[in-house]
A = this chain, B = another copy of it.
């Protein structure tokens, strides 16, 4: 196979600012991990940009460079952190309250953490009922949008950043459907001025970010970016965007297991998933409106992997049930239990149970880092609009109209790596048997 033509990627010179709407457990764990890693105290496990290698050429060549030496990524030492939250606590206080990290890990970077404080947030009780906080912007939606743009500009100047990226780490908002106000950028701006109830807070962040030419990554299941207005705006402004909903915990396991079962043509009669978690995210999801947003994100996963239209005998009657339960004794250490009813040869039934004792923020933090770094790379490579090659990180990947959503984590991973290879002018890997190719 002939290699692709190398793309001209601008170098990662200067500092990269990472802006985080929602500075709770996930954001603070992300920041703490980067700071701690810079000091050589801990390692950023779980991050593909920091730990991963990429195979170049035939397997026998044994060329496995580190990804961050292969493509020009921003380095950890060059990152500045900022963001917004409805609580004014600094990152040291947030880490302490969140009880995700051990005291010794937080104490070692206390000074740096304490210096990072959230800017006042854009918030609406209509979209999140179960929590509220004092650190909010006031005014019309239009004024709030302008205030966010000013925040972004000030941050860039003050911190002397060459480039910025925004990664949504906030809560799940109440379920909403795209309407007229989301159809064009003109309608959207009119909506901001009219204080439209159909505009979710997360969309105001996305608007401000794209307008400022800053890539936006959506870590929650919120609709946010997936509206015609923003798809058009991102293309126009040449901004890389991606979403939706960090793929962690139970859904991560699901997109690992399902492709495996399918590869062997094992049928699935039912898949029952239950979750218990006790952090702020759990409290928010205890409201049915917010759970619906999450449920939509979680339920879609199996259909696109199993292709029930292609394999009706195996997957058309799959009964898929997902529940999430707020369970305070567990805090951030959420837990999933799956029961999978499969069937094989002659229809005989078998069962798989998976119990995943995970940690929400520990699994999400490295995704924040990777998405920020890869989105910055996209931007420098001149990619704009939806970055489908980052589907690997999302529960419900956004795609351009007409494209198929891919949930299979192995195809997602291959797509990501082959995108990097193609970007650098190397041949994509196909795992074709050498003997046959010869």
A residues bordering B, Cβ < 8 Å? 1-2, 4, 7, 29, 32-33, 36-37, 42-48, 50-53, 59-60, 64, 101, 103-105, 252-253, 255-257, 259-261, 263-267, 269-270, 272, 274, 276, 307, 310-311, 313-314, 319, 321, 323, 325, 327-330, 335, 337, 339, 341, 343-348, 350-359, 361-363, 365-366, 383, 388-389, 392, 400, 402-404, 406, 409-411, 413-415, 418-419, 422-423, 428-437
Docked Cα-Cα span, A40 to B428, in Å, equals: 43
Partner of A339, one of B37, B104, B261, B276: B276
Copies in the complex: 4
Task: Report B-chain residues with C-beta under 8 Å of the C-beta of A263.
Answer: 392, 409-410, 413
User: When the two chains form their complex, are residues B265 and A388 in contact, meaning their CB atoms are under 8 A apart?
Assistant: no
Partner of A266, one of B45, B59, B325, B383: B45
Task: Report B-chain residues with C-beta under 8 Å of the C-beta of A323.
Answer: 274, 323, 325
5 shortest interchain CB distances as A-B pairs? A256-B260, A270-B329, A410-B410, A46-B344, A42-B346
Docked Cα-Cα span, A255 to B261, in Å, equals: 11
Task: Report B-chain residues with C-beta under 8 Å of the C-beta of A400.
Answer: 435
Q: Which chain B residue lies CB-closest to A392?
A: B263
Task: Report B-chain residues with C-beta under 8 Å of the C-beta of A330.
Answer: 270, 341
Known: A352-B355, A430-B428, A436-B422. A345 touches B29 (CB 8 A): yes
Partner of A430, one of B255, B392, B429: B429
User: When the two chains form their complex, are residues B409 and A432 in contact, meaning their CB atoms are under 8 A apart?
Assistant: no
Task: Report B-chain residues with C-beta under 8 Å of the C-beta of A404.
Answer: 59-60
User: When the two chains form their complex, are residues B325 and A350 in contact, meaning their CB atoms are under 8 A apart?
Assistant: no
Docked Cα-Cα span, A352 to B400, in Å, equals: 35
User: When the two chains form their complex, are residues A414 and B435 in contact, meaning their CB atoms are under 8 A apart?
Assistant: no
Partner of A362, one of B44, B341, B344: B344
Partner of A257, one of B1, B256, B355, B436: B256
Task: Report B-chain residues with C-beta under 8 Å of the C-beta of A104.
Answer: 103
User: When the two chains form their complex, are residues A362 and B389 in contact, meaning their CB atoms are under 8 A apart?
Assistant: no
